[in-house]
């Protein structure tokens, strides 16, 4: 049987099906006519979501692309461990499983398909492709992955072999499984959990990364270390040139961190397309409404402006709600909720001590005021109220407005 050349494996629990639908649309847009097969590891997607995913692959994949749904429930995970320890038991309510679910180990399902696909790229569900990654289907290596910043001892705790305590682990957000030399990793992972089950779920804080790293460090494999191009953080300077953005962090996702969503609106384009096709929605709201996303490195310059936006949007104003425009280049631009968008506020920094406030109408600056940064909270509400009155905009107590702007 002729092997597939290039496959992609995605995985999510049933309540996160929307992330896989969104990612499918994103991948097929950025990598047209290149992928042979998708493997979708899931634990109970509804039939409608499955059908829509199938249609996405069929109609947007350029023809000849296969889609395989792989069942991987908590019970399936437990069964794999029980092959090596029949007495294994872990309560589903274990706190570690609320952060890192059984689906963290779904990436290893790729190992089962290396007999039929030469290169399988696993991508975390919280990734966004900015560019194609079809070049990962090429290359002479057994495995390709990103070297993380955490040590193996941080990931494994007391279970870490002494000789590897200070060794940096390999991240598992993106893995290119590229050789049959890896297939024994599957048994290694579940055997290790079984043999250390009493301590594993208390010591192994980054279990999937730890076991993946330990296997790579203890076997003679050809490892290709991926650069930041394939692991862009939502707030790294260099991420704007990356092929992939990874919104790692429990409350740092494109869909649950408001500022992450503002900074990476591209994800929302694909998500809304998924919804238009009838796919299931995310409905758990913002988990971090106005928090700057976590950063593992140097932050973009505009994230300083995000911090300003946070400060400004938290200022209490009785009559008006400010809505930040997603730009963050030189000036922050705010429109007013429910008001003609030709009326807006711009804020920028004149120095480390001062802000400039510009009240604008139809791209013209009507009034400009330089203030000390420490005075922003007290000055801004008064400034907005007075400028609105000056242009003839009045908001009365029952929320009706009157505007007598002159052209």
What is the DSSP annotation of 111-160?
A: GGGTTTEEEEEEE-TTEEESS--GGGG-SS-SEEEEEEEEEHHHHHGGGS
Q: What is the pLDDT of residue 288?
A: 79
Q: What is the pLDDT of residue 160?
A: 84
CB 138 within 8 A of CB 38: no
3-state secondary structure of 183: coil
Nearest-angstrom CA–CA distance, 306 and 300: 10
For the chain, the residue count is 407
Q: What is the pLDDT of residues 74-87, one digit of tens each?
A: 999 999 999 999 98
Q: Which residue has the higher pLDDT, 294 or 4?
A: 4
- Quick one: which H or E segment has residue 386? helix 376-390
3-state secondary structure of 164: helix
Least confident of 11-20, 83-92, 234-243, 258-267: 234-243
Least confident of 110-124, 143-157, 216-230, 384-398: 384-398
CB 170 within 8 A of CB 212: yes
Nearest-angstrom CA–CA distance, 267 and 125: 12
Q: Which residue has the higher pLDDT, 270 or 404?
A: 270
Least confident of 198-202, 301-305, 369-373: 301-305
Q: What's the token pair of residue 284?
A: 């758990």
Q: Please tell me which of 106-120, 149-163, 205-219, 390-404 the model is most confident about, judged by mean pLDDT.
A: 106-120
Sheet holding 223-226, edge to edge: 66-71, 37-42, 4-12, 117-123, 168-177, 143-151, 223-226
Q: Cβ–Cβ contacts within 10 Å for residue 75, how many?
A: 11
- Quick one: which H or E segment has residue 215? helix 207-217
Nearest-angstrom CA–CA distance, 94 and 251: 20
Q: What's the token pair of residue 62?
A: 């350029």
DSSP 8-state code for residue 181: G
For residue 121, give the nearest of 231, 252, 265, 42 by alpha carbon.
231
pTM of the model: 0.74
Partnered with residue 42 across adjacent β-strands are 12, 71
Q: Which residue has the higher pLDDT, 155 or 97?
A: 155
- With b meaning 16 or more CB within 10 Å and e meaning fewer, what string describes 119-142? bbbbbbbbbbbbeebeebbeeebb
Expressed in angstroms, the distance from the first to the final Cα of the chain is 72
Q: What is the pLDDT of residue 405?
A: 44
Judged on CB neighbours under 10 Å (0-12, 13-18, 19+), 375 is: exposed
3-state secondary structure of 403: strand
CB 53 within 8 A of CB 169: no
- pLDDT at 122 exceeding the cut of 70: yes
Mean pLDDT of the chain: 87
Q: Which residue has the higher pLDDT, 298 or 43?
A: 43
Q: What is the pLDDT of residue 2?
A: 63
- pLDDT at 289 exceeding the cut of 70: no
User: If pLDDT is split at 50, 70 and 90, which confidence band does 286 have?
Assistant: confident
**Yes or no: is domain 4-245 CATH 3.40.640.10?**
no
Nearest-angstrom CA–CA distance, 124 and 207: 15
Q: What's the token pair of residue 176?
A: 């290119």
Least confident of 29-43, 67-81, 344-358: 344-358
Q: What is the pLDDT of residues 315-353, one digit of tens each?
A: 888 888 888 876 666 788 888 888 888 889 999 887 778
Give domain limits for the chain. 4-245, 303-407
Q: Cβ–Cβ contacts within 10 Å for residue 113, how many?
A: 18
Nearest-angstrom CA–CA distance, 329 and 333: 10
Nearest-angstrom CA–CA distance, 285 and 361: 33
3-state secondary structure of 275: helix
């Amino acid at each position: 049987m002729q092997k597939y050349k290039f496959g992609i494996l995605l995985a999510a629990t049933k309540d996160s099906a929307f992330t896989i639908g969104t990612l499918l649309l994103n991948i097929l847009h950025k990598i047209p006519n290149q992928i042979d097969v998708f493997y979708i590891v899931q634990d109970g997607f509804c039939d409608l979501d499955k059908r829509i995913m199938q249609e996405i692959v069929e109609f947007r994949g350029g023809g000849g692309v296969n889609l395989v749904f792989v069942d991987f429930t908590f019970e399936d995970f437990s069964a794999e461990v029980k092959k090596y320890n029949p007495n294994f038991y872990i309560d589903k309510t274990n706190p570690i499983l609320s952060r890192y679910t059984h689906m963290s180990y779904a990436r290893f399902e790729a190992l089962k398909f290396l007999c039929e696909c030469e290169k399988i790229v696993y991508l975390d569900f919280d990734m966004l492709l900015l560019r194609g990654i079809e070049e990962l289907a090429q290359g002479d290596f057994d495995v390709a992955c990103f070297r993380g910043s955490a040590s193996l001892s941080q990931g494994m705790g007391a279970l870490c072999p002494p000789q590897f305590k200070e060794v940096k682990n390999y991240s598992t957000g993106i893995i290119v499984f590229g050789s049959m030399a890896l297939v024994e990793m599957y048994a290694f992972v579940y055997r290790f959990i079984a043999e250390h089950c009493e301590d594993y779920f208390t010591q192994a804080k980054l279990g999937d990364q730890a076991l993946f790293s330990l296997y790579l460090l203890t076997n003679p494999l050809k490892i290709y270390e991926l650069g930041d191009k394939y692991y862009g953080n939502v707030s790294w300077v260099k991420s704007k040139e990356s092929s992939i953005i990874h919104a790692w962090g429990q409350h740092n996702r494109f869909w649950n961190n408001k500022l992450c969503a503002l900074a990476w609106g591209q994800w929302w384009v694909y998500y809304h397309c998924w919804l238009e096709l009838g796919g299931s929605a995310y409905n758990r709201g913002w988990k971090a409404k106005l928090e700057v996303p976590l950063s593992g490195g140097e932050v973009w310059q505009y994230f300083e402006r995000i911090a300003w936006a946070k400060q400004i949007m938290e200022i209490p104003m009785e009559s008006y709600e400010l809505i930040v425009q997603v730009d963050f280049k030189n000036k922050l631009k705010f429109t007013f909720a429910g008001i003609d968008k030709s009326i807006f506020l711009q804020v920028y920094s004149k120095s480390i001590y001062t802000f400039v406030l510009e009240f604008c109408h139809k791209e013209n600056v009507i009034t400009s005021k330089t203030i000390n940064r420490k005075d922003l909270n007290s000055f801004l509400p008064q400034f907005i109220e007075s400028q609105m009155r000056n242009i003839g905009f009045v908001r009365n107590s029952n929320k009706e407005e009157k505007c007598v702007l002159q052209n």
